[in-house]
Amino acid sequence: MRYLRQQDLCPPEALQSLSVTMIGCGAVGSFTALALAKMGVGALTLYDPDTVEEHNLPVQFFANMDLGKPKVTALATQLASMTEARVRAIPEAYEGQALDGVVISALDSMTAPRRTWRGLSGRRDIPLYIDARKGAMVGQVLTVRPGGPIEELAYRRTLHSQSEALEEPCTARAVVFTVLGLSAIIAGLIRTHIVGETVPREVLQDFRLGVLMVDGRAAA
C-alpha cells in the first residue's frame, strides 16, 4: 500500500529491484537520494567524504542535529527513518571503486566527473550514467549509456576542464529551488529509464528565465 498513489506511474517492482550509486551527497545529491528513496528505489550507495557544515543547511537535506556528522551517515539515517531503501553509506570520495547499477554524479567541480567517467566509459554493464551540474539559478542534467560510441562521444565533449567552468562567487552558488528542480528532473529520468522510454541526453533548467530545455528544445 505504500506506493499505491504512484504504482501506475512508477512500477514498484522495477524500482525496488533498482540499484543506484550517488557520487556526491551535497545539495543535489542529498535531495535526489531522498526523492529516489521516496519513490521506492530499493538500494542506494552513497559516496561523499565531507561532513555537514552550517552553510550546507539551507540547500542540503540535513537538519541542525546533523552538524559535524559525515554527510553520508546523516543522510542514511534520515532515509532510514522515512523509507524502505537499503542504504550503504561510504564516507569517501569516489576514486575508482567498483560500481554497479545506475550511477549519478552530483559534484561541484568538473574535475571529479572527468575522473568518474574514466571508470565508466565502455562499461556496458552500467545501464545509465547521470551527470548533474548546477550553477546558482541554472541547472543541467546530462545522461549517457556507457558503451554506446555515439553517446559517449557526445558526452565527452561536455567534459570541460575546471578552468573553463563558470565560477560563481561563494555567496551566489546555490539556492534551494534550483537544487529541488534538478533533483526532480533526475528522479523523473530514473522513471523514464525503468519504464523503457527514451531518456533525453540533456535537460537544462534556467530559473532566471523560467525556461526548461530538453535536448535543445523548449519543453511544452
Q: What is the pLDDT of residues 30-48, one digit of tens each?
A: 999 999 999 999 999 999 9
Q: How many domains does the chain have?
A: 1
Give 20-62 as a DSSP string. Answer: EEEE--SHHHHHHHHHHHHHT-SEEEEE---B--GGGTTTSS-
CB 217 within 8 A of CB 204: no
Q: Whole-angstrom Cα distance, residue 54 to residue 212?
A: 31
Percent residues over pLDDT 90 in the chain: 70
**Nearest alpha carbon to residue 44 among 59, 56, 57, 29:** 29
Distances (CA, A) of 205 to 88, 135, 160, 210, 211: 30, 11, 19, 8, 6
CB 195 within 8 A of CB 202: no
Taking residue 69's Cβ as centre, other Cβ atoms within 10 Å add up to 16
**Given a cut of 60, is residue 164 above it in pLDDT?**
no
CB 69 within 8 A of CB 46: no
**Nearest alpha carbon to residue 76 among 90, 94, 65:** 90
pLDDT per residue as tens digits for the range 178-218:
999 999 999 999 999 999 999 999 999 999 999 999 999 98
| Residue 167 confidence (pLDDT) | 60
Cα dihedral 46/49/53/56 (nearest 10): -50
Eight-class DSSP state of 5: G
Question: Mean pLDDT score of the chain, rounded to an integer?
Answer: 91
**Given a cut of 90, is residue 171 above it in pLDDT?**
no
Percent residues over pLDDT 70 in the chain: 92
| Residue 116 confidence (pLDDT) | 85
pLDDT per residue as tens digits for the range 72-102:
999 999 999 999 999 999 999 998 888 889 9
Instruction: Give the domain range for residue 84.
Output: 4-218
CATH code (residue 192): 3.40.50.720
| Residue 194 confidence (pLDDT) | 96
Taking residue 98's Cβ as centre, other Cβ atoms within 10 Å add up to 6
Of the pLDDT bands very low, low, confident and very high (cuts 50, 70, 90), residue 112 is: confident
